[in-house]
Structure 1
Amino acid sequence: MKKNVGNGDRFLRIIIGIIAIILGLSGSFEGIIKWIALGFGLIMIITSSLQFCGLYALFGINTCKVKKK
């Protein structure tokens, strides 16, 4: 997998993921919305840790800075 998630994007994904998981676990949401929030938060944290997003690859988006040699 080629990295396509940059540092700024990773930071945002971690923050959004943590917020979504907290909202899902806190009882703010009920039913299916709770599980969607938990799944979304988990996906955000996984994609930030792997530095790869399948949707970015699908649409050709890359937020990583290219190192010049």
Structure 2
Amino acid sequence: MTRNESNLDRIIRIVLAVVFFVVAATVADNQVVQIGGIVLGAILLITAAVGFCPLYRLFGFSTCPTNS
């Protein structure tokens, strides 16, 4: 797995993951919405931690300036 996310992309994913977790824990009153928020937040957090997005690879897209 080569890195295909820039640092800005990773920071945005972490912020969005936190937003999804907070919405799932506080605002969402439907259990499906809560589970969806947790799952989406977890996916964003994992891809940010690893620096690799499988969808970017699938579509041949990269935000990483060096592709190291």
TM-score when normalising by structure 2: 0.91
- Post-superposition shift, 1:62? 0.5
Aligned to 1:7: 7
Who is 1:46 aligned against?
A: 46
Structure 2 stretches lacking a partner, 5+ long: none
Count of matched residue pairs = 66
Query: What TM-score does the superposition give when structure 1 sets the normalisation length?
Result: 0.90
CA RMSD of aligned residues (A): 1.1
Which amino acid letter does the alignment assign opposite residue 9 of structure 2?
Answer: D
Partner residue, 2:20: 20
Runs of 4+ in 1 over 6 A off after TM superposition: none
Give, in angstroms, the shift of residue 43 of structure 1.
Answer: 0.6
State the Cα deviation string for residues 7-43 of structure 1 (Å, max 9, x = none): 01001000000110111112x1122111001100011
Structure 2: distance between partners of 1:39 and 1:63: 23
Once the two structures are aligned, what percentage of the paired residues are identical?
30
CA distance in 1, matches of 2:53, 2:18: 17
Structure 1 unaligned regions, length at least 5: none
